[in-house]
Amino acid sequence: MKTKHLLFLAQIYAATYLIVTVAENLPTDGIEDKSIAEYVQTFKKAGESFSHGLKFPNLNIGMGIIKYMADAMNLGESSLVMGICNPATIPATILISRQYWEASSDLDREQLIFHELGHCVLGRDHNDEITVLEDGETVPLSLMNTYVIEEEHYTRYREEYIRELFTKVNMLGNAECSDEDKSE
Ligand SMILES: [Zn+2]
């Protein structure tokens, strides 16, 4: 049994429209950081390979300090917000925690940007479904998981995660359940 998941309790992505968030240095001018722009390009390319004519809206994406109200999110004090998509601004705004970004690997950065673009570009909500694979390993089914996916799993299932992001067909070959499907 893996116990690494506990580490992830300290790593949370936030869907801003669910929480009250105050951000410093709100980005106001497109994608200001080249290191971020790279991942946005990768996202666009991946999106185009799944759906031709993927509409990519104007976005302001930047890095800064993210403050948040732990009480509003029911999170412990040790929880951190790595990125935020705020679809309520015009254009929509993504804020990335500079502290997290600077300490992150290439794949963790990609995962974060893809997740936030999943909210802001694809309009996706969180999907915290987990599956047990044939080898007994437990993995999140979607990049839209609330928590950071272990790098080892993201590396191994990167293609599946990207396919799921754009098509909702997950690594089991199933489409994501909609809320209606869960009504019973
Ligand atoms: Zn999120």
User: What separation in Å is there between the alpha carbon of 1 and the centre of ligand 1?
Assistant: 27
User: What separation in Å is there between the alpha carbon of 116 and the centre of ligand 1?
Assistant: 6
User: What separation in Å is there between the alpha carbon of 121 and the centre of ligand 1?
Assistant: 12
User: What separation in Å is there between the alpha carbon of 120 and the centre of ligand 1?
Assistant: 10
Q: Nearest-CA neighbor of 116 among 68, 62, 183, 163?
A: 62
The pTM of the full predicted model, rounded to 2 decimals, is 0.79
Helix crossing, 34-50 with 106-120: angle to 10°? 60
User: What separation in Å is there between the alpha carbon of 53 and the centre of ligand 1?
Assistant: 24
As a whole number of angstroms, the longest Cα–Cα distance in the chain is 47
pLDDT in tens, the chain (184 residues): 332 222 233 334 444 333 334 444 566 677 878 899 999 999 999 999 987 778 889 999 988 776 654 444 455 544 567 888 888 888 888 888 888 899 999 999 999 999 999 999 999 988 999 988 878 889 999 999 988 899 999 999 999 999 999 999 988 888 875 544 443 4
Q: How far apart are CA 54 and CA 34, in angstroms?
A: 22
Q: How far apart are CA 76 and CA 142, in angstroms?
A: 24
Q: How far apart are CA 146 and CA 2, in angstroms?
A: 19
User: What separation in Å is there between the alpha carbon of 85 and the centre of ligand 1?
Assistant: 7
Whole-Å CA distances, 89 to 13, 42, 59, 104:
19, 24, 9, 27
3-class DSSP state for residue 86?
A: strand
* Structure-block tokens of residue 173: 């070959």
